[in-house]
Amino acid sequence: MHLDKAMKDVKVDVRVNVTVDAASVVLLIATTTMAFLFYKQNKLDKQDKSALRQS
Query: Which 3 state secondary structure label does DSSP give 55?
Result: coil
- 0.85 surpassed by pTM: no
| Per-residue model confidence (pLDDT) at position 51 | 74
Q: Name the residue type at position 25.
A: V
CA–CA separation, 12 and 15 (whole Å):
5
| Per-residue model confidence (pLDDT) at position 17 | 67
CA–CA separation, 22 and 24 (whole Å):
5
CA–CA separation, 34 and 40 (whole Å):
10
Digit-coded pLDDT (tens) for 2-53? 667 766 776 777 676 667 788 888 999 999 999 999 999 998 888 887 777 7
Q: Which residue has the higher pLDDT, 54 or 38?
A: 38
CA–CA separation, 55 and 47 (whole Å):
12
